Amino acid sequence: MDYKGKSAKTGVAIGKLHIYHKNENMVKREHVEDTDSEVKRYEDAKATALSQLKGLYDKAMKEVGEANAAIFDVHQMLLEDLDFNESIKNIIVSQKVNAEYAVATTGDNFSQMFAAMDDEYMQARSADIKDISNRVVSVLQGVEEAKMTGDEPSILLADDLAPSETVQLDKSQVLSFVTHGGSTNSHTAILARTMNIPALIGVDFPEDCDGKFGIVDGYEGKLIIEPTEEEIKKYEELKKKDEEKERLLQELRGKENVTKKGTKINLYANIGGVKDVASVLQNDAGGIGLFRSEFLYLESDTYPTEEEQFNAYKTVAEMMAGKKVIIRTLDIGADKQVDYFNLAKEENPALGYRAIRICLDRVDVFKTQLRAIFRASSFGKISVMYPMIISVDEVKKIKEIVAEVKAELDEQGVPYGDVEQGIMVETPAAVLMSEELAKEVDFFSIGTNDLTQYTLAADRQNAALESMIDTHHPAVLRAIEMTIKNGHKGGAWVGICGELGADTSLTEKFIEMGVDELSVTPSRILHVREAIRNANV
């Protein structure tokens, strides 16, 4: 029997099905006289929950990198939220009730409040609030976490999986996961791709399939329960082909990124932090085309110091041993919120106060980061690029601030290297002004994720608009082609660092357009190298 869904990660999985049922935290309202002791019970449970979240963060850092571990920092911040905590304690004291009831009630109230907001980012926090409140209630009740997998490697089925649940997956015991809910842009879908586990979302599987044999077809987006011998044979052959393809890809390590007609392309990797460099080196990338520096801010309770940033950038530069490292300056706002920046709530944050707009307004924060980047540049080949640019005036203001930073470093006798400066082209305005902008910078890096949403006027975080996020839309491809052409005309080299850069169905087209560099997630390096070497351009 076939059950259709949507693929969050391609591939084939064959094995027994295991349905994961969350622990049902049945909470009863109980009267208590000693409210001080009950508040203490809550504080102890909260401390335990925070310790668990720290453990999950550390585990995620090791397995899936800083970018994907960041959600557990968000959970810790939510659990420490003053309003959330005051609500729980107030319910305990004023209503003289047990901590479990106070936590569950506050969790429901806050979750509903977030879900009702217009802001997509804040709506997404609704599920996170449920996750942390369930965690605290479980600790209070002394309930162990539900078993994620069976006794043998299996295909995991669930209504939905919270990030904290997904990261606990023992990869040696999980062949794939299939969920009723979720979206291809959810934290869990991104984690699945990073963990290289085939995954389906939106599958209406039956509850009586636990223990049955099944197949996940991540290419056509379907779950097959109790397949025929013929289907098993067919998918075993497809799985073998996938494994052989991966083996053959390893033979491309050390090979040049050159087309059949001799066109060379720089192939770099995108990272979220220092720990991701191991994957960059393992997959034989030629450099780092996008270092998302905002994760230094997302993972901190306060503004990271110049020294903290300098050490991170210096470490990456040294590890890359002379290969190019392009650091994107702070890109927060929209779906990436940092509490201590105290950013006001916005009706449409994707079009709001974010990225370079914050940096040009909070020059002290910007200069601290620039000083750290320029100082680190004497330890390797570092370049810097600025996100969310819409005008030449912005670039000129940035260059004035950079000149001030360099003058300060010169005065202090602090060495720095020859730092290339570039911009992210991710707005239609930057595309239309690309010839003029190219005369002001050394390079462009096209951020196709934001460029797609702004060109198509479709919020990429909105699951209801997922079908409209057409990355192959002619308007998007024309914008990319125009940027490459105008960039070269103005004297800048041009790369692509958005997810579209890893789309091998477009690799040859991008090369035909004249792209100089592609920067992709480390696990896609060899796939894109193969596409480059097979391109007949």
DSSP state letter for 348: S
Percent of the chain with pLDDT over 90: 57
Residue 168 DSSP SS3: coil
Q: Name the CATH code of domain 35-141 (choices 1.10.274.10, 2.40.30.20, 3.40.50.880, 1.10.287.1060).
A: 1.10.274.10
Question: Can you give the pLDDT at residue 166?
Answer: 62
> What residues have CB less than 8 Å from 311, skipping those under 6 apart?
none
Strands 12-19 and 6-9 come out as unpaired
Full DSSP string of 370-398: HHHHHHHGGGSEEEEEESS---HHHHHHH
Residue 332: closest CA among 312, 310, 358:
358
Strands 493-496 and 517-520 come out as parallel
Q: Does the pTM of the predicted model rise above 0.75?
A: no
Taking each helix axis from N to C end, the angle separating 99-115 and 120-141, rounded to the nearest 10 degrees, works out to: 170
Q: Name the CATH code of domain 264-534 (choices 2.60.40.1930, 3.40.30.10, 3.90.850.10, 3.20.20.60).
A: 3.20.20.60
pLDDT tens digits, one per residue of 321-378? 889 999 999 887 655 566 667 676 766 666 777 789 989 999 999 999 999 999 999 9
Q: How high is the mean pLDDT of the chain?
A: 88
Give the residue extent of every domain in the chain: 2-22+147-233, 35-141, 264-534
Q: How confident is the model at residue 162 (pLDDT cuts 50, 70, 90)?
A: low
pLDDT tens digits, one per residue of 441-485? 999 999 998 899 999 998 766 767 777 888 899 999 999 999 999
Q: How confident is the model at residue 20 (pLDDT cuts 50, 70, 90)?
A: confident
Strands 517-520 and 266-271 come out as parallel
Residue 165: closest CA among 191, 198, 199, 193:
191
Report phi then psi at 169, rounded to 5. -60, 130
> What residues have CB less than 8 Å from 101, skipping those under 6 apart?
27, 28, 29, 30, 91
Contact indicator for 440, 422 with CB cutoff of 8 Å:
no
- 167 has pLDDT over 70: no
DSSP state letter for 172: T
pLDDT tens digits, one per residue of 91-108? 999 999 999 999 999 998
Question: Can you give the pLDDT at residue 89?
Answer: 95
When mean pLDDT is compared across 5-19, 82-96, 120-134, 308-322, the lowest value belongs to: 120-134
Residue with more model confidence, 340 or 54:
54
User: Would 2-22+147-233 and 264-534 be classified into the same CATH topology?
Assistant: no
Q: How confident is the model at residue 151 (pLDDT cuts 50, 70, 90)?
A: low
Length of the chain equals 537
Of 149-163, 266-280, 300-314, 420-434, the range with the highest mean pLDDT is 420-434
Catalytic residue numbers read 187, 497
Taking each helix axis from N to C end, the angle separating 474-489 and 448-456, rounded to the nearest 10 degrees, works out to: 120
Q: Name the CATH code of domain 2-22+147-233 (choices 3.30.70.20, 3.10.180.10, 3.50.30.10, 3.20.20.70).
A: 3.50.30.10
Summarize the confidence of residues 174-184 as an average pLDDT: 80
Contact indicator for 27, 101 with CB cutoff of 8 Å:
yes
When mean pLDDT is compared across 125-134, 254-263, 324-333, 455-464, the lowest value belongs to: 455-464
DSSP state letter for 186: S
Question: Can you give the pLDDT at residue 397?
Answer: 97
Contact indicator for 219, 229 with CB cutoff of 8 Å:
no
- 194 has pLDDT over 70: no
pLDDT tens digits, one per residue of 364-414? 999 999 999 999 999 999 999 999 999 999 999 999 999 999 999 999 999
Question: Can you give the pLDDT at residue 407?
Answer: 97
Instruction: Measure the CA–CA gap between 238 and 466, rounded to whole angstroms.
Output: 28
The string over 398-418, giving b where at least 16 C-beta atoms fall within 10 Å of a residue's C-beta and e elsewhere, is beeebeebbeebeeeeeebbe
